[in-house]
Structure 1
Amino acid sequence: MNLNQQIIFADTVFAQEVDGEMVLLDMNSENYFGLDEVGTDIWKAIEEKRVLKEVLERLLEQYDVEEEVLKNDLFIFVEKLQESGLVEVKAV
């Protein structure tokens, strides 16, 4: 994974924010996923920016954390979404 890749949400995933946290439903598997506040912020940044580099820049504005730490956390988060079939990662 690299910062020049784009995140595309699966068409079968529905997301709804409830009390500051995102709830996701994958219609294919009929599984629900809950994101905490930080996960919700990442999801929203992906919705807005799509390209990982821009997502990282947006999150760096929100959080007081070293860029390398946040980049690693972002990659881990996106990999988990990808493993669950919620997103695709493509080259820009």
Structure 2
Amino acid sequence: MDLNQKIIFADTVFAQEVDDEMVILDMESENYFGLDEVGTSIWQAMQEHGTLQDVFDALLEQYDVEPEILEKDLSDFVEKLLESGLVEVKAH
């Protein structure tokens, strides 16, 4: 994963926080996705920050985690979002 990439959310995706968890609806596929607390934090960080590096840095400050583990978790999360068609990644 290239941390210099920027996340672009699909126009058909709507997200709403409910009881500390994020519920995501893809209007195109009509699929719902639920994120746990950590997934919600990653999603919110992706909305607030420009690049994956910025997301990574923000999460590293928020959580007591080894950088290598965080990078793998972030990469896996982005990969699942890409597979579901919820986001795109673009070179920054």
TM-score, length of structure 2 as denominator length: 0.98
CA contact (8 A) 1:22 1:35 kept: yes
Q: How many residues align?
A: 92
SS of the residue 2:42 aligns to: helix
- Aligned residue for 1:28? 28
CA positional deviation for 1:50:
3.0
Q: How well do the aligned residues superpose, as a CA RMSD in angstroms?
A: 0.5
Q: Which runs of 5+ in 1 are unaligned?
A: none
CA contact (8 A) 1:8 1:50 kept: no
CA positional deviation for 1:72:
0.8
The sequence identity of aligned pairs, in percent, is 73
Q: Which runs of 5+ in 2 are unaligned?
A: none
Q: How does 1:10-21 map onto structure 2 within 5 Å?
A: 10-21=10-21
